[in-house]
Each structure stands twice: as structure tokens, then as C-alpha cells.
Amino acid sequence: MIAHCDFHIHSALSPCSDDDMSPGLIVGLAKLAGLDFIAITDHQSCGNCAAAMAIAQAYEGPVVVPGMEIESSEEIHLLCLFPDLQAAKEMEALVQQAMLPLKNRPEIFGEQLLFNEEDEATGCEWRLLMQACQLSCDEIARQVLARGGVCIPAHLDREANSMLQTLGAVPPDFPTDWIELSQRADLDQFFRNHPDLVRYHVLIDSDAHHLVQIDEPGWPIDVQPWSDPAEARLQVLSALRPQFRQ
């Protein structure tokens, strides 16, 4: 069946996103928009994924896939999605061990708010999340795939933090069949400029930092039917997993 997906949404835990991006409001707006799947993908942290998953299940909202937008040592942004919270938390621990212990300065970077399953702000992440980690993109992909997840180069059409800008290409041995482009990308123009990338499947996500950006019906992905959210997460990740290279 065709599922409508937005796999790149920042909650208020990302310093660059609005403080009203609570898990509950994100899930509620995604449900109104008719999305079947969303992923919460904060920078270097999955700290609000548990709350979003619980709220979505309680209110029969979209299936929430735990995720992170990981910034590699090359300053490349990678959209990382996981089958369950434990896999996401293991990856978060690896990433955060590979970060400098810099404190966030909310007056400069913005708040990094954590929420509970009642959608109440419970505190702030002290560690500055707007920084690269010391893991290469190859190592990140290896670790994510080993945990049953997928690792997709994010917003390739953008100048900042894109694998295409930083490395000049998506290396053929990078283990993904999918690439992400942003909503404003001109697909025809993009593939005219990068004909070598036509062999990849395209994912278009909102990369929402503001509630008003969660208003699109989502990107269609062919997913096997599911009976519960845990199975749904496995089905959608199996649709996104690289088929020929691992």
C-alpha cells in the first residue's frame, strides 16, 4: 500500500527549531495532514522520540519512527531512522560519546527542550547539539545499518551540510538506495545536473523546524500492510533498506 511519509521533522529539542515543536503538536498536525508515518529527527539526539511514539499511539496518530539527523565528522547531515527506540538510543550514545562536551548557550543557539509522554516540557538537554561528531559518514552508516536502521544522505540539493557539496558525490559504496531532497528542489533540474544519481530512489521530506511546515500530505512510499506500529516501523524500514549493497 502507499503510505504518506515525512521522515525529517525537528522537535523543540533541536536548538534551531521553534520551542512550540512539542511531540504532541507535531503528532497532532501530522495526523491532520493525513500522514501515515513521521520521523522525529533532531540533531545528534533522539531525546523526544519516546514521547512522540507514546503520544502517537495513544491518539491513533501516524506511526512515529525514531530517528536522528546525525552530523558526521565531514559535517555531512545524515537522516538516520531506526526500527525501535533501543536502537536509536544506542546510536545516540555512540554519537554523543564522539562529540565535544560543549554546553548549549540558549541565548545564541536556542533552547533544547525535552518532553514527557504528557507533552510537558521536562527540562533541557545541556549538551550543544549543533556540532559535528567525530564519526565519519561511513562509520555512521555502518553502525546504523548494524542496528537495523537506514542512513540516507539528507537534503542533497542544499548548499549546507550536504554530502554532494562536501564530498562532490554520493560515493558508490555508500550503503543507501535512497537520497533525500528538500521540498523546494526542482527534481528535473537536479537530475539534469547529477545524472549519476538517477539510480537512487528519492525521498522528499519537510525538514520542518516550525509547526506550519507540517501541512503536506507527505511523500508516497510503497509499504507492506501492518497490524501495529512496531510492525509498521519494520515494514517501512524494509522499504528503505539498501537491496544490493550492505
Q: Which residues bind Zn ion (CB under 5 A)?
A: 69, 77, 154, 207
Measured from the CB of residue 196, what is the shortest distance to Zn ion in angstroms? 22
Picking from 244, 242, 236, the residue whose alpha carbon sits closest to that of residue 67 is 236
- Identify which of residues 92 and 207 has a Cβ nearer to Zn ion in the complex: 207
Lookup: cell for 162:
550536504
Nearer to Zn ion, 160 or 246 (CB): 160
Dihedrals φ, ψ of 24, to 5°? -65, -45
**Closer to Zn ion by Cβ: residue 65 or 154:** 154
Q: How far is the CB of 72 from Zn ion (least distance, A)?
A: 11
Q: Which residue is nearest to Zn ion (CB)?
A: 77
Nearer to Zn ion, 91 or 229 (CB): 91
At closest approach, how far in Å is the CB of 17 from Zn ion? 9
- For residue 238, what are the CA distances in angstroms to 18, 243, 246? 32, 9, 13
Least spacing, CB of residue 160 vs Zn ion, in Å = 7
DSSP string, 146-166: HTT-EEEE--TTSSTT-HHHH
| Number of neighbouring beta carbons within 10 Å of residue 160 | 9
